[in-house]
Amino acid sequence: MTDSATTSAAGESDGFETWLRGRVPERGLRSKGASVLEVLLTQPRRVSYSSAAEAAELAGVNVATVSRTAQALGFSGWSDLQQELRARYLSSLSAPDVAAAQRTEGELGGASLRRDLESLAVLNRRLDDQLIRTIAEAIAQARRVLIIANGSYVAVGSALGHNVRLAGYDATVVRDDADLANSVSRIEPGDVLVAISFWRLYQSTVTAAEEASSRGARVFALTDAASPALAAAAEQVVLIPAEGVAFFPSLAPGLAVAQAIVAHLSTVDPERTRRSIEAAETQWSRFGLMHRQPRRG
């Protein structure tokens, strides 16, 4: 697939060009900034894997211009722009295209671990701790919490839901569209909906977020690329790198954010969380869930 063909496909399937042009400030960009924008639009695959220096060379400008253009588009710098650009580029591809785009030579085990470490480092630099606290406090104050997760990212939703409940708060993880529709029909003001979606966004997730918002619930999204529809429905969007080295998106950064949320949640009402954990521990013993090593005489 050529870069120009990719741009066309992305524009059709994910509003790539509309999204990027929509970030251009009203006053526009200077001529050199416009050159950078043109490269982003026409060669998304290439620049999404390029350094700032390589992007500058493609646009015929210097590195400082690339950085200033990224900032003019609403990002802290090139690395943040590049991350979302790559996420949106990948979301425009079909499953076979993703597999081809992510083809890596050599040992994939080590490459996968290194990619996760790189993504976690990016996440650590850019994650707003106050945003995580806001989500945790919203969950603590909610009448009920609905967590939406699909595909492999059910793992992230399940981990979040399990630990929210263990911390002493009500949470339901929804994986099935019919169940989702039924659950959304019961959403009221004071509820919280957490939408977890990566790579290509499920329409059911967008519909649920929009409906929950219209019903007065607080909506939060954990995703790698904030689509306009999801961003419009959500109170806050947490952008999380999720690129893997093969066909499969990475789970590690999403799980890290889920753990960060419940870590904050455990401090909102420590006594409530302590009682909940003690009650759970009692039932674990009652049901004989935990394996006990035999004593050695």
According to the model, what pLDDT value does residue 118 have? 80
Q: DSSP assignment of 153-220, as one string?
A: GHHHHHHHHHHHHHTT---EEE-SHHHHHHHHTT--TT-EEEEEE-SS--HHHHHHHHHHHHTT-EEE
The sheet carrying 145-149 orders its strands as 172-174, 145-149, 192-197, 218-223, 236-239
According to the model, what pLDDT value does residue 97 have? 60
Phi (first) and psi of residue 271, to 5 degrees? -70, -40
In three-state secondary structure terms, 15 is coil
According to the model, what pLDDT value does residue 96 have? 57
According to the model, what pLDDT value does residue 14 have? 46
Q: Is 89 exposed, middle or buried (0-12, 13-18, 19+ CB in 10 A)?
A: buried
* Report field, pTM of the whole predicted structure over 0.75: no
pLDDT in tens, 231-271: 889 999 888 888 777 767 789 999 999 999 999 999 999 99
Tokens of 162: 């399990």
Partnered with residue 149 across adjacent β-strands are 196
Partnered with residue 223 across adjacent β-strands are 197, 239
The DSSP element (H or E) to which 146 belongs, if any, is strand 145-149
C-alpha pair distances (Å), 205 with each of 146, 192, 202, 234, 285: 12, 14, 5, 11, 38
According to the model, what pLDDT value does residue 146 have? 97
The per-residue pLDDT string of the chain (297 residues; one tens digit each, 9 = 90 and over) reads 334 333 334 333 346 778 888 899 988 898 889 889 888 887 777 787 788 898 888 888 899 999 999 999 998 889 888 888 877 776 666 655 655 555 555 577 888 888 888 888 878 877 889 999 999 999 999 999 999 998 888 999 999 999 999 999 999 999 888 999 999 999 999 999 999 988 777 889 999 999 999 999 999 999 876 677 888 899 998 888 887 777 677 899 999 999 999 999 999 999 999 999 999 999 999 998 887 777 775
Q: How many helices (H) and strands (E) does the chain have?
A: 16, 5
| Mode of pairing for the β-strands spanning 145-149 and 192-197 | parallel
